[in-house]
């Protein structure tokens, strides 16, 4: 085959004056036609550009582009060499998604070219190009491709052109490991590895040159793979020359947006030079070729493939006993050689602990967890691509008493696994896959038969030097459901030459083994599917060998008849002794017979062995399996064989009749013996265990267990009622477990009845009560109860006799007011229970009713007062028969009955007529039942006997006198009195309604007589409506509302700072704390904002706000904290601001070397190197001092020098001068930097003075307290100030402690240290401040401390 590569040339637009713009998509050129783009308009651009295509001749090719722009651009397609006509091209557009396509059906070689897509509107134009490469179909007579792989001597050495293979092939190779080259070449049909390596090296050099523009280092490439958390990742290490270079991600040539947010679909995470791309929420659409570009240059490519497979059978929960093996099995819908297994979210690998296997058909995958222990409990999962299934492994403790206190022996049994069910499903799926494959091959045969015969095959010389080749047979088997694809180059087939006598090797279960082959020779094929015979050199035996050569177009696994083979092999079978077992296999042909073997010996049909054939299915039936039937069975047909093992198991078994008899309950009486016995058969040893209610029984005084090889018995002596329950026999051997169940019922007398009794009625005529039945009826139902009665005060019991089994009795033979006690016994067929004695029950107890409600005055007149009330809640157990109503005058202590004594009031209302006009009365009422009159109610309100009054009018002058955040004070003027219209007000009700509600609520339940009221419990800043209602005996007047709603808040106050002297500048030593406290007043509560240099303060700065105070604290100030701090106090009334400058500095460092220079006689120029703090402190300046040899004293000659030189005047000749330069800032002076001596000393006679050698003074000292702390006692909520003095050199570091807890960073304490005076201020002390306070001073020479006690008075 030959490739034709198109030319890539871009014509220019003559006379076009334009502004070049850069697109977000690499490779797109944008030209702007106007100087400024109008608002809301945009240039044409590509969000998806066409990608280069390499396609086979005759196929459908199309370019796809998505274009944006406002106004909508017009789109035009062109090509470099030729025109685009509607006869050979199809242009489509989807306006809804702005997608444009250029389709080329039945693409021809002549259409290979560079195609250009042009999008243009009135403001600009966007252009992008894409290359179409067409693979020309081979028309000349093909050669023997298999022979050509052996040697390169006769191969045409024509140089291959660029672009002959899909560009994806090269992109994958550039990022792949060398071990993956063969696999990628096989996938893309490339067999000339030497040419491939040469071409790959050229491309690597090209891409490295391009990458060198942007990338300094690229390595550690890791291709995409699926991770445990359900996402896919690929990563690499890269150093960029420009950290701001743009990185792009493409999938199948289309740009994919990504972000640094790990929750997005595509995300990028960068850690140093490591780049990690993640694809979350995987789906089949995520498969494809992923590429990473830096500024349009490809740096990494990886192909992501998701296997299209699912689970037909998922793994299931497994329960295993300790030291057993646990098995998880699953069945896939398509064959895969390997899947991933996870155990408790950790990948598992083949080893001593885990055994991972796969069946021959690659459908059944199995995980065996060996020697299970408790630590192996957890969730295990099988993962295939984006599919997974999981299940629990539960490891139970070994309850074998023989293993208590020692390690149990390793068990040979396995728990879990679905066995034959999994095998059956896998066999059915394999049959479906094989059928689909056969149908596909048949369809390919028909296609081959319909094609006309090509020219006869030519003879090809044999060649040497075989090169690596792909494995098409294996590839075809791994994807039996894929659509057939024509290969770009022919691939050889392998043909096996069998030995005269093939020997078979033993294989694992269900494996079909092919005969051994002696020699493998490649079988050549031709392009048209026909075959030709080629002569080969004579063999060693003499004569010529003929070989068939294929001469047609090659298709995958082209129609090679493999002869008779197994479509379903034998599977291992487990059978129970005495039952039947069946072994089945299936051949690809129904016309072939075979032979059965057992342990290598041929077998034929007998009474117990039945061999049958049903078409292509061959069966071997073993009836009445015995131990000698164990062994390996093999079926051979046409040189093929399949083997499997028959395992005859002998688990414990029981005779059904004996089991039915054993299951019948055993019923005995207390003190008798119970026996259980059951026979069984099975392979020894058999473990026998007896259980009662789930608890294992062991030999004991009353328990006798007998065991033998054929039966076991259990004898329970002197049984008690508690022995009643389920009896279980458990038999277990290496082949299985069986259980048998029975029931033991021990009969006894019932237990005594249960109390307490519930009294239903206790009146003067009867006593009725009930009780609870016995807790245990002894195995027989209660038939009767026996009762006795004793009257309190007597010694004899009266027999009442037996009553029915209902736990209820009504005694009518009672005397009023007497107390009775009863004895109750339960009677059943097994005897009489113990006695239950009740508490005393009184007959006819007198119970008076409770008081009714307070009488309410309905209306009052001068000759009658009407009242009403409600009955009492406690009636005394009997009905209410009437009421007595009493009255009393104000000031009197005597109550008189209002109704006649012999005529109780039947109704719950009454009109009292025996009243005197103008007199005030109060009333009370008492209820009467059969026991008599009860307690009277509380008295009613006083009411005057007079005709009704008129309700009062509205109050006037209602206003708010004061308000807070939780209360509101009101005042008003009483309404005017108008005779006949409105009477005098006797009280007032205040009503409140929140703005969001529609119902009014009364704030006072009883009328108030004052004309002011304070409402409490309001919600801060909430809106309320308020009104006042006047009332008197005639009723309530009309309410008076406030004119507007009110807000629960104090009267509005504009923010105002209350401190008269607030510091606008403060200097803080670096490392000390800085604190700014601002006091203010404002209403409502203001919003407080702190700013530093107009920006929000850093997080390390803490702010605390209280009522009327705001504080800013820098715990440990640094130079970067220097700035202007502004507080803004704002509420609805207004705002107020205040700024203070905080300068954080430290003792200045001395200047550098000082130099002296005399440029003018009588003057000296002093210059020095700047202090290291000069750049960090803009307030740093210098001070210069001078000393001459005459005066011998230092005096300052310059202050506030802000440069690094100074000119000293009045320099006298003949004198020596020295200068000192100090650095000075807000903290003080630095150490001086001294110059060399300047001046010429006159020569005089030498005068020598012997001075004693001066002693050096060392002022260093450990810290000591010169003034210690004093004991403090302070009232609660007052300020407390503590101070002490400390000295030492170097200056000691001071730390305050309360109860051994450091306070230096606590914002509730104001701590200062000025020249050794250490102070601590507590603004408002409370009980929490009680305790011991300690000051610790330490420097490099030592440490000292001083403590005191603070006591808070209440």
ω into 685 cis (within 30 of 0): yes
Average of per-residue pLDDT across 405-423 = 61
When the pLDDT of each residue in the chain is averaged and rounded to a whole number, the result is: 81
Q: What is the distance, to the nearest Å, from the Cα of residue 420 to the centroid of all Cα atoms in its chain?
A: 40
| More confident call, 635 vs 1191 | 635
What is the per-residue pLDDT for 546?
A: 40
Tell me how far CA of residue 735 lies from CA of 575, 577, 721, in angstroms: 10, 11, 38
Whether residue 805 is predicted with pLDDT greater than 80 in this model: the reply is yes
For the record, the structure tokens of 1140 come out as: 């203070």
Weakest mean pLDDT among 463-472, 648-657, 1012-1021, 1184-1193: 463-472
CA gap 884, 905 in Å, rounded: 6
What is the per-residue pLDDT for 163?
A: 43
Q: What is the distance, to the nearest Å, from the Cα of residue 319 to the centroid of all Cα atoms in its chain?
A: 29
Positive/negative CA dihedral, 373, 379, 384, 389: positive
Cβ neighbours for 122, distance < 8 A, ≥ 6 positions apart = 33, 71
CA gap 52, 55 in Å, rounded: 10
Whether residue 21 is predicted with pLDDT greater than 70 in this model: the reply is yes
Cβ neighbours for 405, distance < 8 A, ≥ 6 positions apart = none
As beta bridge partners, residue 380 has: 343, 391
Q: Is 476 helix (H, G, I), strand (E, B) or coil?
A: helix
Average of per-residue pLDDT across 1233-1253 = 73
What is the per-residue pLDDT for 1025?
A: 93
Which tens digits make up the pLDDT trace of 1291-1311? Answer: 999 999 999 888 888 888 889
> Which is nearest to 364 in space by CA: 418, 325, 319, 324?
418
Which tens digits make up the pLDDT trace of 115-148? Answer: 999 999 988 999 999 888 888 765 443 334 333 3
Which tens digits make up the pLDDT trace of 63-116? Answer: 999 999 999 999 999 998 888 888 889 999 988 888 999 999 888 888 888 899
Q: Do 883 and 850 meet the contact criterion of CB atoms below 8 Å apart?
A: no
Q: Do 1124 and 1139 meet the contact criterion of CB atoms below 8 Å apart?
A: yes
Q: Where are the beta strands (DSSP E) in 418-543?
A: 493-498, 512-513, 517-523, 531-536
Q: Do 319 and 415 meet the contact criterion of CB atoms below 8 Å apart?
A: yes
Please report which confidence band the pLDDT of residue 165 belongs to, taking 50, 70 and 90 as the band edges: low
Q: Is 1149 helix (H, G, I), strand (E, B) or coil?
A: coil
Tell me how far CA of residue 354 lies from CA of 99, 335, 366, 1037, in angstroms: 54, 22, 10, 93
Identify the burial level of 1082 via C-beta atoms within 10 angstroms of its C-beta, where 0-12 means exposed, 13-18 middle and 19 or more buried. buried
What is the per-residue pLDDT for 268?
A: 83
What is the per-residue pLDDT for 520?
A: 34
Q: 1061-1078: buried (b, 16+ CB within 10 Å) or exposed (e) per residue?
A: eeeeeeebbbebbbbbeb
For the record, the structure tokens of 1316 come out as: 């050794």
Cβ neighbours for 7, distance < 8 A, ≥ 6 positions apart = 80, 81, 113, 114
> Which is nearest to 1162 in space by CA: 1209, 1197, 1207?
1209
CA gap 40, 24 in Å, rounded: 19
Cβ neighbours for 527, distance < 8 A, ≥ 6 positions apart = 138, 142, 454, 490, 551, 552, 553, 554
CA gap 502, 895 in Å, rounded: 130
Positive/negative CA dihedral, 422, 428, 431, 432: negative
Whether residue 1202 is predicted with pLDDT greater than 80 in this model: the reply is yes
For the record, the structure tokens of 1 come out as: 């085959």
Whether residue 498 is predicted with pLDDT greater than 70 in this model: the reply is no
For the record, the structure tokens of 46 come out as: 């590509």
Weakest mean pLDDT among 152-161, 363-372, 688-697: 152-161
CA gap 1289, 1267 in Å, rounded: 17
Q: Do 314 and 332 meet the contact criterion of CB atoms below 8 Å apart?
A: no
Residue 988: φ, ψ to 5°: -140, 145
Please report which confidence band the pLDDT of residue 502 belongs to, taking 50, 70 and 90 as the band edges: very low
Average of per-residue pLDDT across 844-851 = 80
Q: Do 1081 and 1159 meet the contact criterion of CB atoms below 8 Å apart?
A: no
Which tens digits make up the pLDDT trace of 949-963? Answer: 888 999 999 999 888
CA gap 247, 249 in Å, rounded: 7
Q: Where are the beta strands (DSSP E) in 638-763?
A: 640-649, 666-669, 674-679, 687-692, 695-697, 703-707, 711-716, 725-733, 736-747, 754-762
For the record, the structure tokens of 210 come out as: 């391009």
Weakest mean pLDDT among 148-157, 784-793, 816-825, 1307-1316: 148-157
Share of the chain above pLDDT 90, in %: 29
What is the per-residue pLDDT for 486?
A: 38
What is the per-residue pLDDT for 219?
A: 82
Whether residue 176 is predicted with pLDDT greater than 80 in this model: the reply is no
CA gap 1118, 1144 in Å, rounded: 6
What is the per-residue pLDDT for 618?
A: 92
Please report which confidence band the pLDDT of residue 880 belongs to, taking 50, 70 and 90 as the band edges: confident
Average of per-residue pLDDT across 153-173 = 54
| More confident call, 145 vs 905 | 905
CA gap 1354, 923 in Å, rounded: 51
For the record, the structure tokens of 432 come out as: 């479906």
Q: Is 658 helix (H, G, I), strand (E, B) or coil?
A: helix
Q: Determine how β-strand 113-121 pairs with β-strand 74-79.
A: antiparallel
Whether residue 463 is predicted with pLDDT greater than 50 in this model: the reply is no
As beta bridge partners, residue 248 has: 293
CA gap 1035, 983 in Å, rounded: 10
Average of per-residue pLDDT across 13-25 = 68
Please report which confidence band the pLDDT of residue 851 belongs to, taking 50, 70 and 90 as the band edges: very high
Cβ neighbours for 331, distance < 8 A, ≥ 6 positions apart = 311, 312, 313, 363, 364, 365, 422, 425, 426, 429
What is the per-residue pLDDT for 499?
A: 36
What is the per-residue pLDDT for 1159?
A: 82
CA gap 110, 87 in Å, rounded: 14
Q: Do 1186 and 1218 meet the contact criterion of CB atoms below 8 Å apart?
A: yes
Please report which confidence band the pLDDT of residue 828 belongs to, taking 50, 70 and 90 as the band edges: very high
Q: Do 517 and 502 meet the contact criterion of CB atoms below 8 Å apart?
A: no
What is the per-residue pLDDT for 1247?
A: 73
Q: Is 1255 helix (H, G, I), strand (E, B) or coil?
A: coil
Please report which confidence band the pLDDT of residue 515 belongs to, taking 50, 70 and 90 as the band edges: very low
Which tens digits make up the pLDDT trace of 740-785? Answer: 999 999 999 999 999 888 888 877 778 889 999 999 888 889 999 9
Q: At what angle do helices 193-211 and 181-188 cross, to 10 degrees?
A: 110
Which tens digits make up the pLDDT trace of 603-615? Answer: 988 888 889 988 8
Which tens digits make up the pLDDT trace of 1141-1172? Answer: 998 888 888 999 999 888 888 888 999 999 98
What is the per-residue pLDDT for 547?
A: 39
Q: Tell the residue number behind the tokens 């022979």, with chain if given.
A: 147
What is the per-residue pLDDT for 141?
A: 39
Q: What is the pTM of this model?
A: 0.31
Cβ neighbours for 360, distance < 8 A, ≥ 6 positions apart = 508, 510, 511, 512, 569
Average of per-residue pLDDT across 971-989 = 88
Average of per-residue pLDDT across 501-512 = 37
Q: Determine how β-strand 687-692 pairs with β-strand 695-697.
A: antiparallel
> What's the DSSP call for residue 1151?
P
| More confident call, 1119 vs 980 | 1119
What is the per-residue pLDDT for 24?
A: 79
């Amino acid at each position: 085959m030959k490739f034709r590569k198109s030319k890539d040339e871009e014509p220019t637009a003559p006379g076009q004056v334009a502004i070049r713009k850069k697109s977000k998509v690499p490779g797109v050129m944008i030209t702007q036609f106007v100087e400024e783009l109008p608002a809301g308009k945009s240039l044409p651009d590509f969000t998806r550009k066409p990608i280069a295509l390499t396609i086979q001749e005759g196929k459908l090719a199309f370019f796809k582009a998505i274009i944006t722009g406002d106004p909508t651009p017009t789109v035009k397609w062109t090509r470099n060499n030729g025109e685009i006509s509607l006869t050979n091209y199809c242009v489509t557009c989807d306006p809804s998604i702005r997608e444009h396509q250029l389709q080329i059906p039945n693409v021809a070689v002549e259409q290979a070219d560079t195609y250009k897509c042009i999008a243009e509107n009135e403001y600009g134009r966007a252009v992008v190009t894409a290359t179409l490469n067409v693979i020309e179909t081979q028309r000349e007579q093909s050669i023997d491709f298999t022979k050509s792989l052996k040697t390169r001597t006769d191969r045409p050495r024509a140089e291959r052109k660029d672009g002959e293979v899909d560009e994806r092939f090269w992109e994958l190779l550039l990022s792949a490991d060398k071990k993956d080259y063969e696999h990628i070449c096989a996938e893309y049909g490339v067999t000339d590895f030497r040419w491939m390596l040469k071409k790959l090296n050229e491309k690597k050099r090209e891409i490295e040159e391009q990458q060198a523009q942007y990338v300094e280092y690229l390595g550690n490439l890791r291709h995409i793979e699926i991770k445990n958390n359900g996402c896919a990742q690929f990563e690499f290490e890269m150093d960029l020359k420009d950290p701001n270079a743009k990185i792009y991600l493409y999938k199948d040539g289309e740009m994919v947006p990504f972000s640094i947010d790990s929750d997005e679909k595509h995300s990028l995470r960068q850690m140093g030079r490591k780049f990690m791309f993640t694809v979350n929420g995987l789906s089949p659409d995520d498969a494809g070729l992923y590429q990473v570009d830096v500024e349009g240059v490809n740096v990494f490519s990886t192909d992501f493939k998701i296997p299209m497979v699912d689970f037909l059978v998922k793994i299931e929960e497994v329960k295993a006993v300790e030291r057993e093996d646990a098995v998880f099995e699953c069945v896939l819908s398509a064959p895969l050689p390997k899947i991933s297994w996870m155990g408790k979210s950790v990948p598992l690998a083949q080893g001593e602990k885990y055994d991972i296997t796969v069946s021959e058909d690659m459908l059944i995958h199995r995980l065996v967890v060996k020697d299970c222990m408790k630590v192996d409990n957890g969730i295990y999962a099988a993962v295939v691509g984006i599919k997974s299934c999981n299940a629990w492994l539960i490891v139970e403790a070994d309850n074998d008493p023989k293993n208590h206190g020692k390690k149990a022996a390793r068990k040979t049994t396995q728990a879990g696994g679905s066995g034959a069910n999994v095998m059956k499903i896998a066999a059915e799926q394999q049959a479906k896959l094989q059928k689909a494959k056969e149908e596909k091959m048949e369809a390919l045969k028909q296609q081959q038969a319909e094609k006309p015969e090509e020219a006869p095959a030519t003879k090809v010389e044999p060649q040497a030097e075989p090169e690596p080749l792909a494995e098409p047979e294996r590839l075809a088997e791994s994807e039996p459901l894929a659509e057939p694809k024509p290969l770009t180059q022919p691939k050889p087939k392998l043909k096996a030459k069998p030995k005269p006598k093939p020997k078979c090797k033993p294989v694992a279960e269900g494996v079909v083994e092919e005969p051994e082959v002696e020699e493998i020779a490649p079988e050549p094929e031709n392009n048209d599917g026909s075959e030709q015979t080629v002569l080969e050199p004579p063999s060693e035996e003499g004569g010529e060998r003929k070989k068939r050569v294929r001469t047609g177009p090659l298709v995958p696994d082209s129609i090679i008849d493999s002869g008779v083979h197994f479509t379903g092999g034998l599977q291992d079978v487990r059978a129970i002794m005495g039952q039947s077992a069946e072994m089945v296999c299936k051949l690809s042909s129904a016309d072939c017979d075979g032979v059965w073997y057992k342990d290598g010996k041929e077998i034929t049909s007998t009474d117990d062995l039945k061999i049958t054939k049903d078409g292509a299915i061959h069966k071997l039936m073993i009836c009445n399996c015995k131990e000698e039937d164990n062994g390996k069975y093999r079926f051979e047909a046409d040189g093929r064989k399949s083997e499997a093992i028959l395992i005859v198991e002998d688990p414990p078994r029981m005779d059904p009749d004996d089991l039915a008899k054993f299951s019948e309950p055993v019923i005995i009486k207390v003190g008798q013996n119970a026996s259980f016995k059951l026979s069984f058969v099975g392979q020894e040893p058999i473990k026998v265990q007896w259980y009662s209610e789930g608890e294992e029984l062991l030999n004991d005084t009353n328990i006798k267990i007998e065991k033998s090889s054929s039966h076991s018995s259990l004898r329970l002596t002197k049984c008690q009622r508690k022995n009643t329950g389920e009896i279980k026999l458990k038999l277990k051997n290496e082949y299985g477990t069986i259980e048998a169940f029975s029931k033991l019922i021990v009969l006894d007398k019932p237990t005594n009845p249960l109390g307490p009794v519930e009294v239903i009625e206790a009146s003067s005529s009867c006593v009725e009560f009930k009780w609870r039945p016995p807790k245990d009826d002894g195995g027989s139902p209660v038939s009767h109860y026996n009762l006795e009665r004793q009257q309190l005060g007597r010694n004899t019991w009266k027999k009442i006799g037996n009553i029915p089994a209902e736990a209820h009795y009504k005694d009518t033979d009672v005397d009023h007011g007497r107390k009775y006690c009863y004895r109750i016994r339960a009677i059943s067929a097994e005897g009489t229970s113990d006695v239950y004695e009740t508490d005393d029950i009184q007959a006819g107890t007198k119970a008076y009713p409770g008081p009714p409600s307070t009488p309410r005055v309905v209306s009052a007149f001068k000759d009658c007062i009407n009242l009403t009330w409600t009955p009492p809640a406690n009636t005394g157990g009997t009905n209410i028969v009437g009421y007595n109503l009493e009255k009393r005058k104000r000031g009197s202590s005597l109550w008189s009955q209002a109704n006649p004594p012999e005529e109780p009031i039947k109704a719950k209302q009454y009109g009292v007529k025996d009243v005197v006009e103008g007199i005030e009365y109060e009333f009370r009422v008492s209820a009467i039942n059969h026991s008599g009159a009860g307690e009277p109610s509380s008295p009613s309100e006083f009411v005057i006997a007079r005709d009704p009054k008129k309700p009062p009018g509205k109050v006037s002058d209602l206003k708010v006198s004061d308000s807070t955040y939780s209360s509101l004070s009101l005042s008003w003027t009483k309404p005017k009195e108008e005779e006949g219209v409105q009477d005098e007000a006797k009280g007032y009700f205040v009503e409140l309604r929140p703005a969001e509600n529609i119902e009014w609520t009364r704030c006072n339940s009883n009328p108030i007589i004052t004309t002011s009221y304070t409402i409490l419990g309001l919600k801060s800043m909430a809106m309320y409506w308020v009104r006042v209602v006047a009332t008197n005996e005639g009723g309530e007047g009309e309410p008076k509302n406030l004119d507007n709603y009110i807000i629960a808040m104090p009267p509005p106050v504009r923010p105002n700072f209350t401190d008269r002297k607030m510091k606008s500048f403060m200097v803080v030593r670096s490392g000390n704390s800085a604190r700014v406290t601002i006091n203010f007043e404002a209403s409502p509560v203001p919003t407080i904002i702190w700013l530093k240099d107009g920006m929000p303060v850093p997080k390390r700065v803490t702010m605390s706000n209280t009522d009327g105070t705001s504080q800013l604290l820098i715990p440990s100030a640094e130079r970067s904290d220097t700035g202007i701090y502004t507080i803004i106090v704002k509420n609805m009334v207004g705002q107020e601001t205040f700024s203070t400058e905080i300068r954080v500095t430290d003792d200045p460092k001395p200047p550098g070397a000082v130099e002296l220079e005399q440029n003018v006689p009588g003057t000296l120029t002093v210059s020095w190197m700047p202090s290291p703090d000069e750049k960090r402190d803009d307030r740093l300046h210098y001070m210069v001092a001078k000393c001459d040899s005459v005066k011998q004293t230092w005096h300052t000659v310059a202050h506030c020098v802000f440069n690094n030189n100074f000119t000293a005047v009045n320099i006298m000749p003949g004198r020596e001068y020295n200068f000192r330069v100090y650095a000075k800032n807000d903290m003080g002076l630095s150490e001086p930097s001294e110059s060399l001596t300047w001046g010429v000393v006159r020569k005089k006679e030498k005068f020598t003075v012997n001075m004693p050698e001066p002693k050096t003074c060392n002022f260093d000292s450990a810290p000591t307290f010169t003034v210690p702390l004093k004991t403090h006692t302070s009232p609660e909520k007052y300020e407390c100030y503590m101070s002490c003095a400390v000295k030492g050199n170097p200056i000691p570091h001071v730390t305050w402690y309360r109860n051994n807890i450091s306070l230096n960073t606590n914002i509730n304490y104001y701590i200062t240290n000025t020249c050794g005076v250490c102070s601590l201020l507590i603004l408002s002390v409370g009980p929490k401040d009680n305790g011991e306070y300690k000051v610790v001073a330490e420097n490099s020479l030592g440490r000292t401390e001083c403590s005191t006690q603070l006591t808070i008075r209440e």
